[in-house]
A and B are shown apart, each in its own frame.
Chain A
């Protein structure tokens, strides 16, 4: 990541993010109508980490295990021809007993164009037939290209198309924060 820190502004610090995640965990349980049939699926890579946080919170609250997994949408992207193949960062892992007839909550860090959500939903359809899919993101930013909206949103941010929103997680970036920077030429 070539962007120097000086060009990047921290919008949400660790405390902010933790508070937001707590609220998201509650909202997920509410909207899913309980934890029984719930499956949390994080999108590689940072979505997986946020999903893990949410899972811990829900499990603590509910006093029982919650099914979880991870999903890599690389093979479902629609821009292979345009950007070339991407390294596959992780395998998709689903709970042992599958996703059929369950409420699947897909968790990602940033909701931007909607293409990742489209890919993730397509991939889930190939895996099975969930009763319901909810999409949950830490940050929802401007720039939608598909008519898709997240169901559970941590924070909505109005940013310029040229701005880049980075969610940082300790497991990968060494800190928990949401930052905005001017991404010269790299709109992703």
Chain B
């Protein structure tokens, strides 16, 4: 008799909602999926006959492609709805979008949305499984999972490891998912960036705050370097990209001074010469491409686990209904 998995329930909205056991289940399930992507025929029939809608109401090429690969490698039928050029979505409220999806009898929705809480909102209103592919500044759970998986791959474990997230924490869903997930697995977590880009009172979440990136490098085993959105400069959070690079950019010179090997992660796409210098991005310490590979595996694991998931949760949502 096989041991049962920790069920994920109907949806994956955020790592804050998951237990450590559930997170481990996803990570462990991702391992065999990595191997499928190495096969000659990179496809298994596990989600054959399932329909998945990728509802991307905010532009994102990477995450969407990663989910699409994951879905196709699991043999699901997928449809992409994007904000641009889709009459289903244009000018429509999220409630109406939810009703439309419900009427199409789809099995799963992968949603990317500009508003925090949008994934939860949808999950509460449709019986399909909902996977959050990033909602506003809230969470991006599959990115958090792939970051954690990458750390585990390279350091052999997560508990007790020191991970510092560097950059724009305030607006970052990646940061939140990393913080929630890593803390649950027993890692020590810190954040570092200009105070204008750190949420007030973030330390109450259980993370350490570094004001100087040199101190963060000194402390950390892993740096997760966040992308600095260029619009943060126009909005005045940082005076200039040049100054940001000078004081917060991850350069090989800064890393060399620490006198130890750090693992460097970046969720991409990178702004070379802003938050990360090319010599770091291309160095052996950088595992950024490994993250991309793990991204597909983690998403396959999440879709697989949810697909077999808990029918009673789907029933409950159906009863709550949208009509």
Interface residues of A (CB under 8 A from B): 1, 72, 74-77, 80-81, 83-92, 122-123, 126-128, 186, 188
Contacts of A77 in B (CB 8 A): 46
The secondary-structure label for the interface of chain B is: loop
With A1-B1, A83-B308, A84-B308 known to touch, is A128 a contact of B40 (CB < 8 Å)?
A: yes
Contacts of A74 in B (CB 8 A): 32, 46
Q: Is B231 an interface residue (CB 8 A)?
A: no
Contacts of B36 in A (CB 8 A): 75
Among the 9-residue stretches B2-10, B60-68, B151-159, B263-271, the one with 4 or more Cβ atoms under 8 Å from chain A is: B2-10
Query: By the criterion CB–CB under 8 Å, are A75 and B46 in contact?
Result: yes
A-contact bits for B301-323, CB 8 A (1 contact / 0 none): 00011011110000000000000
Most chain B beta carbons < 10 A, residue from A75, A86, A92 = A75
With A80-B307, A91-B32, A126-B39 known to touch, is A85 a contact of B45 (CB < 8 Å)?
A: no
Contacts of A122 in B (CB 8 A): 45
C-alpha gap A86/B304 in the complex (Å)? 10
Contacts of A75 in B (CB 8 A): 32, 36, 44-46, 74, 304
Shortest CB–CB separation between residue B4 and chain A, in angstroms? 8
Residue on B nearest A126 in the bound complex, by CB: B41
Query: By the criterion CB–CB under 8 Å, are A87 and B39 in contact?
Result: no
Contacts of B29 in A (CB 8 A): 85, 87-88
Contacts of A72 in B (CB 8 A): 32
List, sorted by A's number, 14 A–B pairs whose CB atoms are closer than 8 Å.
A74-B46, A75-B32, A83-B308, A84-B5, A84-B308, A85-B5, A85-B304, A85-B305, A88-B31, A88-B32, A122-B45, A126-B39, A127-B39, A128-B40
Residues facing A in B122-145 (CB within 8 A) are none
C-alpha gap A77/B41 in the complex (Å)? 18
C-alpha gap A75/B28 in the complex (Å)? 15
C-alpha gap A16/B116 in the complex (Å)? 64
Q: Is B43 an interface residue (CB 8 A)?
A: yes
A-contact bits for B24-39, CB 8 A (1 contact / 0 none): 0100110110011001
Contacts of B46 in A (CB 8 A): 74-77, 80
Interface residues of B (CB under 8 A from A): 1-5, 7, 25, 28-29, 31-32, 35-36, 39-41, 43-46, 74, 304-305, 307-310
Partner of A80, one of B32, B40, B308: B308
* Given A76-B46, A126-B39, 6 extra CB contacts under 8 A: A72-B32, A77-B46, A85-B29, A86-B2, A87-B29, A127-B39
Contacts of A84 in B (CB 8 A): 4-5, 7, 308-310
Query: By the criterion CB–CB under 8 Å, are B308 and A81 in contact?
Result: yes
Contacts of A92 in B (CB 8 A): 32, 35
Shortest CB–CB separation between residue A163 and chain B, in angstroms? 15
C-alpha gap A104/B31 in the complex (Å)? 26
6 closest cross-chain pairs (CB), A and B: A85-B308, A75-B44, A84-B308, A88-B32, A75-B46, A126-B41
Residue on B nearest A164 in the bound complex, by CB: B1
Contacts of A81 in B (CB 8 A): 307-308
C-alpha gap A85/B303 in the complex (Å)? 10
Partner of A126, one of B4, B35, B44, B305: B44
Shortest CB–CB separation between residue A114 and chain B, in angstroms? 17
Partner of B44, one of A1, A76, A87, A90: A76
Shortest CB–CB separation between residue A42 and chain B, in angstroms? 16
Contacts of B308 in A (CB 8 A): 80-81, 83-85
Shortest CB–CB separation between residue A141 and chain B, in angstroms? 17
With A122-B45, A127-B40 known to touch, is A87 a contact of B307 (CB < 8 Å)?
A: no
Contacts of B43 in A (CB 8 A): 126
C-alpha gap A50/B239 in the complex (Å)? 67
Query: By the criterion CB–CB under 8 Å, are B309 and A91 in contact?
Result: no
Residue on B nearest A77 in the bound complex, by CB: B46
